[in-house]
Amino acid sequence: MRRPPSEEWPIAAAMLPFPASQDAPVDTWVDHLAEVAYEGFTEVDVTDSWVRPGDLSPSRLTDLGEALTAVGLDPVALSAIRRSVIDPETGDENLAYSHRTLDAAAELGCRVVSVGLHRPLLPAQRGAFWFWTEQGPVDSTDADTWELAVTRLRELGRHAREVGLVLSLEMYEDTLLGTAESAVRLVHDIGDDAVGLNPDLGNLIRLHRPVEDFQAAVAACLPVSNYWHVKSYFRDEDRASGTVVALPAPMEMGSVSYRQALRTAVEVGYTGPFCVEHYGGDGLSVAARNARYLRRMLAVATGEARATVLRAVGAAR
């Protein structure tokens, strides 16, 4: 795929800041989407914590498409959250839901569907101020579970290809997509060009425990990535006491350098869309700030910024 110029690179807003609105009137959908468009976005990730397109009736799915058109937003992606196809209790149900979601995403004109192996939050997580400070479910790493993940995600990848989509696998702690090594291995074992990674490494750097090096993980994951949820955190570690604290931060201020990460992404040929996320406070405003930062850093990484500076200085001489 051709690398887009920085100003045209698809950067979507996640719908995470908005309340669950599955049964809301269409006007409510338009209200929410108009807020996204007003912040300067032209693309959106139809995050299913907001609306589950795979569970809409045909007429309501048409209504959602018309709401997107009314505000001028391109639904570049759909992210299905916490619907693991290897969940020991709901894996079969989640697999069926994922297939419905692929069909609905194609109907809406999406290009990417992002799925993961993370499960619903546990009670302690739901009760915490920041859910990632409490232990969540942990995937088994036995051979049968691995093979089930490969088989079911390969099945979804085949479906995605048939309806003109790509499938992206979201990285998340304590799942088979919880480390760079495991996530890359899973993509290779699936072995379908329609399946790649969503290297949402923000999910990992926020953990209150030791984590792998961010830039090394970027270098390992980006060659097999096709969509990228991006966000950042302030992270502080006191090794003497073993204390770790992580708080949401705008991307340009967080503890990891996306300037460097985007250089790596461009160098390895990443051309997929981005989705900007933020938890807490006015998440949409921070996401919009993140999108502006991301576009600047893409210009730097692609050499457009250098060319612009040299052209301006040359014209002034």
User: For residue 259, what pLDDT is reported?
Assistant: 98
Output phi, psi for 220, to 5 deg.
-75, -35
Residue 157, classified by CB atoms within 10 Å of its CB into exposed (0-12), middle (13-18) or buried (19+), is buried
- The contacts of residue 44 (CB under 8 Å, 6+ apart) are 12, 13, 15, 33, 36, 68, 73, 74, 75, 76
User: For residue 316, what pLDDT is reported?
Assistant: 82
Enumerate long-range contacts of 131-135, CB under 8 Å, 24 or more apart.
132/173, 132/203, 132/206, 132/207, 132/208, 132/246, 133/208
Break the chain into its structural domains and give their ranges: 6-316
- The contacts of residue 120 (CB under 8 Å, 6+ apart) are 82
User: For residue 250, what pLDDT is reported?
Assistant: 98
User: For residue 82, what pLDDT is reported?
Assistant: 97
User: For residue 317, what pLDDT is reported?
Assistant: 79
Q: Parallel, antiparallel, or unpaired for β 243-249 and 232-238? A: antiparallel
Distance CA 55, CA 97 (A): 8
User: For residue 315, what pLDDT is reported?
Assistant: 87
DSSP designation for 119: -
What CATH number is given for 6-316 in this structure? 3.20.20.150
pLDDT one digit per residue (tens) for the chain, 317 residues: 789 999 999 999 999 999 999 999 999 999 999 999 999 999 999 999 999 999 999 999 999 999 999 999 999 999 999 999 999 999 999 999 999 999 999 999 999 999 999 999 999 999 999 999 999 999 999 999 999 999 999 999 999 999 999 999 999 999 999 999 999 999 999 999 999 999 999 999 999 999 999 999 999 999 999 999 999 999 999 988 989 999 999 999 999 999 999 999 999 999 999 999 999 999 999 999 999 999 999 999 999 999 999 999 988 87
User: For residue 255, what pLDDT is reported?
Assistant: 97
Q: Could you tell me the CA-to-CA distances from 7 to 37, 223, 252, 299 in Å, in that order? A: 16, 22, 18, 8
